[in-house]
A and B are shown apart, each in its own frame.
Chain A
Amino acid sequence: MKFNQYTIHELQDKLAAREISAVELTEAVFARIAEVDDQVNAYITLNKDEALVQAAAADKLLEQKKGGPLCGIPLAIKDVMCTRGLRTTAGSKILESFIPPYDATVIEKLREAGAVICGKVSMDEFAMGSSNENCAYGVPHNPWNLDYICGGSSGGSAAAVAADECIASLGSDTGGSIRQPGSHCSVVGLKPTYGRVSRFGLLAYASSLDQIGPLTKDVRDCALLLKVISGYDRQDSTSVAQPVPDYLSALEPGLDGLKIGIPREYFAEGLDPEVNEAILTGIAELRGAGAETVEVSLPHTDYGVAAYYIIAPAEAGSNLSRYDGVRFGYRDKEADSLLEMYEKTRSQGFGDEVKRRIMIGTYALSSGYYDAYYKKASQVRTLIVEDYQKVFSQCDILVSPVSPMPAWRLGEKTDDPLSMYLADALTIPANLAGIPALSVPCGFSSAGMPIGLQIQAGHFNEEKLLKAAFNLESALEVKGQKPKL
């Protein structure tokens, strides 16, 4: 195996034992990027020179046995988190030239842990999309089949991990943007509880839904990375001062006493039969590990997409107002008046999907429509929260598909945004409720495209997710399968 194909925990041992150096590892990652990224197109901006400096510094610490948990580990960062001195575009032309003067809190934590930052990876513009086709810097391709989408919005993260163009990645998830590309690319993706990870420095899409999380090659790496990035941050008022447990200690074999809820609404009409079959196989394995299953109902699931497509665009429309051409980023220089400058800057700087959501959001908050849309959507949100509260008194975790279908062909849905929106129906409710949810590889379709299994749990119950996922991963023979590029 090549160095870049290993997991974080495998590399921790090899680096500590000085079997390899962080510089060699980083070079292996960049060699892989050079080899495949013109096909995969996962990266927007490479950080090679700086990464090698970081790797050399990591090697020094490793020599002295002083390295943090990620010392010398090359990571790829979704291009939506601010990295000091390294361009951050959010996949948008409007931020083509934006170089943040500060680090996001998660980036600070990664740096403290010794991580090497290889570069910034592709995403749907401002995290709006489910296929990563809305990106001003080219579309990433699914490493399992280059004619297919890799999912979105954290498509670059999932693709880079799957193609071994990094060891692990951070993504962000507003309605499934970590879990769905994770599912489509056969990597583990976790959306933590809202408030578990600081959002400071994350370019906001929908502030009440956004959460940063890991995309990794296995469940152990997921636990490891989650532990590094979690915790209260006084710079984020919505982060929660809850102690961070040692997630790694949750990774024990055996699920005796665990009660798994199978939500009826997640297996409704429209679910791809191959996805259904893979998930049922996964559930059987979980039972085999000692878990009990019970059928449950989340009756308001159907309204999740509708509520999400009011709340998220409403917040987005406001969050994206700051991209006005005045202080940073793109500005149309031809405009003769202030209004024209705003109009031209934003018409030219934003892509179609972003404009579509700004318009939806602006409409939903308009005077006279607020009660019918935003307020109603907020009430639906409360009902969804209550659904989960009820269900988690009956079971510990919920198991379901992540996406109703495996990855589709590039271009297949680009003219039909509504069908793309509906593809997020199974991941959106967790964001609306703020609960943690994880996607773990569970099999492949007959076409060879990956299928992920979703596990959801109550607030701050990430350990339950990780334990179940770890047991499933151990039972299945999916982990370690690599796409042929």
Chain B
Amino acid sequence: MEFETVIGLEVHAQLKTNSKIFCTCTTEFGRPPNSNTCPVCLGMPGVLPVLNKKVVEYAIKMSVATNCAINYRNQFARKNYFYPDLPKGYQISQFELPIAEHGYVDIEVDGKISRIGLTRIHMEEDAGKLIHDSHEPRSYVDLNRTGTPLIEIVSEPDIRSPREAAAYLRKLHAILRYLDICDGNMQEGSFRCDANISLRPAGRDEFGTRTELKNMNSFKNVQRALEYEVRRQRDILLDGGEIIQQTLLWDADRNRTNPMRSKEEAHDYRYFPDPDLIPVVIDDAWLDQVKQSLPELPEQKRARFIDEFGLPAYDAEIITSSRDLAEYFETAEKIFPQPKKISNWMMTELMREMKGEDGINISDCPVSPENLANLLIMIDKGAISGKIGKTVFSEMMESGKDPQTIVKEKNLVQMSDESDLLKIIREILADNPAQVTQFKEGKTKVMGFFIGRLMKKTKGKANPKLANQLFAQELK
């Protein structure tokens, strides 16, 4: 039987505000436990939340960038449950009236464009963290993260494969990074994802029973966990079994999902409007102001890169997949205005070197866009060959030095002096009479042998174009 996969994702993105959502504590990561706290985020008796306006502004940015309808009047609600990382015994979130609804993003997988609907975006506060003692039955509570602003982005069940899920996540990640409202670090938890997944016989409309997947802390893990779950559910269904609706935790070490204890998921959150916060009112003036401040978004940039720089769609897609990559490209292009050559180098040499678990992190690259451009200029002018260029690039990655310095230090400047080259060429021809004869009998392939000899003697520095010309002239 053929099955169709149905996936919906819930993404939590921490917003990069300086202070927390309902108090003035800093959101700085990595401080000593419980140092970023005050009576408000500790949930002390009698304290009250006061909304950080920046959080609303950032949420509006994301809502506009994902084509959502803004709710001009939206409201915070309390989500009630007990856990030691939740000081008030409730999380301030949004429920009936979120800040935005009914949006979408377009994703592309294997050349096919799919539109993924966004059910809603809402603002909420993050919880703290528990640190469990591995030796004793004891847990510690760190409330530094408590009250860090989050937006939750909930998709429609429009995603049809684990690869689409990964593409959707990358798209949201790129938009958040472009907007500069989330640092997108999945390991540190500033960009988190839960998934709902079910299978149904192909062609059927109603959904199958779903499971919820948690604990996937990289794009790759999301895809792998979903792939695992597709297989698991398919096997059960093919066996005539039934899927149990439950929450599963992804175990990246063992490459499998495990059910969460049912006690931990049996919650009735008893949502109700938070009486401590007045409704959030957004007017047209504010909305317009935020719209004006939006940067160019991935899709607009992609279109412009095709149009303005003549890049192929594939190159443009990859180069604009992150704001940093696109900026890198544009900086290099200003110095060396040959876009296709830059994108070629970026997509091969640069990305091969910089590829990590979650894609390219160009901001850590030791080769600055200026230095890449200068290297390409040297190749373009014939100062070094393309091949030497790759050696120089490796050296640049290694040492972070600029290409001019490396070429000078290693004496890699291309030999383009006719008389110098001619001298060596004549020696080669004199030393290899048999090959000369073969060439003259029409075996032009022997040219490769001569060039090889020349490169060996010049340590690869001979200008290949000139060398070809000179060999041909001497062999006439």
Contact = CB atoms under 8 A, between A and B. Distances in A.
Interface stretch (B152-160, B267-275, B296-304): B267-275
Interface in A91-146: 95, 98, 100-102, 104
A324 interface: yes
13 contacts: A81-B46, A82-B46, A200-B47, A200-B48, A201-B46, A207-B276, A237-B48, A318-B272, A321-B82, A322-B43, A326-B141, A342-B82, A365-B80
A322 B92 CA distance: 13
B209 to A, nearest CB: 20
A350 to B, nearest CB: 13
Chain B interface size band reads 20 to 34
A328 B88 CA distance: 12
Contact of B44 (A315, A317, A328): A328
B87 interface: yes
Contacts of A22: none
Contacts of A317: 80, 270
B42 A318 contact: no
Nearest to B80: A318
Given A237-B51, A321-B82, A374 B46 contact: no
B46 A204 contact: yes
A100 B39 CA distance: 9
Contacts of B271: 365, 370
A374 B44 CA distance: 26
Interface string B263-290: 0000010111001111000000000000
Given A102-B39, A235-B48, A321-B82, 8 more contacts: A208-B275, A237-B49, A238-B278, A321-B80, A323-B45, A324-B82, A324-B89, A327-B44
Given A200-B47, A321-B89, A237 B278 contact: yes
Interface string A227-238: 000000011111
B46 A202 contact: yes
Interface in B23-60: 39, 42-51
Most buried by B among A200, A208, A237, A315: A237
Contact of B50 (A98, A235, A327): A235
A338 B84 contact: yes
B272 A374 contact: yes
A64 interface: no
B45 A98 contact: yes
B45 A100 contact: yes
Contacts of B82: 321, 324, 342
Contacts, number: 101
A199 interface: yes
Nearest to B85: A326
Interface string A67-91: 0000000000000011000001010
Contacts of A321: 80, 82, 88-90
Given A237-B51, A318-B78, A324-B82, A88 B89 contact: no
A205 B391 CA distance: 72
Interface string A313-336: 011011011111011100000000
A388 B103 CA distance: 42
A234 B22 CA distance: 12
Contact of A327 (B47, B87, B268, B276): B87
A207 B270 contact: no
A446 interface: no
A362 interface: yes
Contacts of A326: 84, 87, 141
A366 interface: yes
A317 B43 CA distance: 15
A427 B278 CA distance: 25
A100 B270 CA distance: 29
Contacts of A393: none
A419 interface: no
B84 A203 contact: no
A481 interface: no
Nearest to B83: A338
A107 to B, nearest CB: 10
A317 B80 CA distance: 9
Interface in B74-110: 78, 80, 82, 84, 87-90
A237 B47 CA distance: 11
A143 B42 CA distance: 40
Most interface-central of B46, B78, B90 (chain A CB within 10 A): B46
Interface string B59-78: 00000000000000000001
A281 to B, nearest CB: 39
A342 B82 CA distance: 8
Interface in A211-255: 234-238
A221 B273 CA distance: 37
Chain A CB count within 10 A is highest, among B78, B80, B270, B278, for B270
A125 B350 CA distance: 67
Contacts of B80: 317-318, 321, 365
A198 B438 CA distance: 101
Interface string B336-367: 00000000000000000000000000000000
A200 B89 contact: no
Contacts of A324: 82, 84, 89
A338 B86 CA distance: 13
A327 B78 CA distance: 20
